[in-house]
Amino acid sequence: MNVWINNPFDNLPGEGRRPQRYCLLCRALAKAGHRVVWWSSDFSHPLKRHRTLEPVYDLPEGFQVRLIPTMPYYDNIGLRRAWSHRRYAAAWKRLAEAAVAAGELPKPDLILTSWPPIDTAAVARQLRTKWGCKVVVDVMDAWPRSFHRVIPGPKWLKELLGPLVFARAHASARCAFRQADAVVALGFSHLAFADSYGGKAPRHVSYPGILRMNNGANRYSLDESEPLRLVYIGNMGRSYDLSTVICAIRRLVDEGERVYFDLAGSGPHEDRLRREAKGCSHIRFHGYLGTEDTQQLLADADMAIIPMFPDSCVSIPYKLVDYAAAGLPILCCLTGETQRMIERYRAGTMYRAGDVEDLMATLRAYLHQRSRITQESLASARIARENFMMDDIYPEFVHFLTNL
């Protein structure tokens, strides 16, 4: 089977960062004997700069990556990013049709496109009309419902105006989920999101997968004289309430508590966050790290934090997977599916987004009751073993696609 995958956001092979959902899926499809092409962007979404990779390159794992020229954008929310995505989709259609016409690629039997972006789903349906292939939409984020949070005012006003302000995007979502041959989702809440637009096609939930466990030994120490090390890995943008974490850490340090906060990653709010943390040596920014350095930072930590606003509409963030694979207890203010999983396994503690006092109280409890870290570390590792193991997830994903 000839399979095309379109996702412009995940790490690509050759960039020195850990393989994510689509790289692992490409490997599994190729291992099962399918011919796979991963269409992605020549612009790195996390780094906000153009990639230095070749526009077309083959991987030893048996699949090919093709990069689509992409207009840069510098903020994750805004008209420039929306326009960039539209141009990306149009460029994909042009390059795809040209590659098949020139004999560089055979016609696809199946196209899987991630959601977001929004416009690539429409292009996939156009290619289906032309070539008779199947189209699968893989829901990674609740676009455009998550757009509603940019509307000022109370929640009821956002819910009232959102469908009007973003009418075109909502119409695109209805077409995408109603006309897909199948829908896959990163989590059950994202599958329910697709169903809310009238999707009736076969569906499958596939959590993100991990290559290996990376349990660190240091966090099993119960010595309260040692500092508590909190880690965050990911984007520093609008969805993340990192200001609350920085404020809580600063105030705890001022009180004499021995707590450190390490941040790895970048984003549009990084400069502001650095200013908020200035003068506090217990808050350390590491920038983007390669796979080995990221794993070491996780191994050296005692706890990890998911400071995501609930209105971000995220189901299962990649960072939950990474933290669980490292066996880290998790502090979290993201409600929904992530909260239910953490609470079901007793692998961490919830706190209220934006509430500095609540977060400080939560951290104090761990500072003075270290045995909780040992218990919750084991529970967090069990989340990874029972939900996120690559060898369980991706063969099932491939089986679902093959059955279409």
The string of pLDDT tens digits covering residues 3-16 is 999 999 999 999 88
The residue type of 308 is: M
Q: What is residue 219's predicted lDDT score, i.e. its pLDDT?
A: 52
Cα(367)–Cα(227) distance, integer angstroms: 8
Q: What is residue 155's predicted lDDT score, i.e. its pLDDT?
A: 87
- Model pTM? 0.92
For residue 316, what are its two tokens? 């299962």
Torsion of CA 349, 333, 297, 392, to 10 degrees: 80
Torsion of CA 137, 142, 144, 148, to 10 degrees: 180
Give the total residue count for the chain. 404
Beta bridge partners of 129: none
For residue 22, what are its two tokens? 């689509």
Query: What residue ranges of the chain have pLDDT lower than 50?
Result: 217-218
- Start-to-end C-alpha separation, the chain: 11
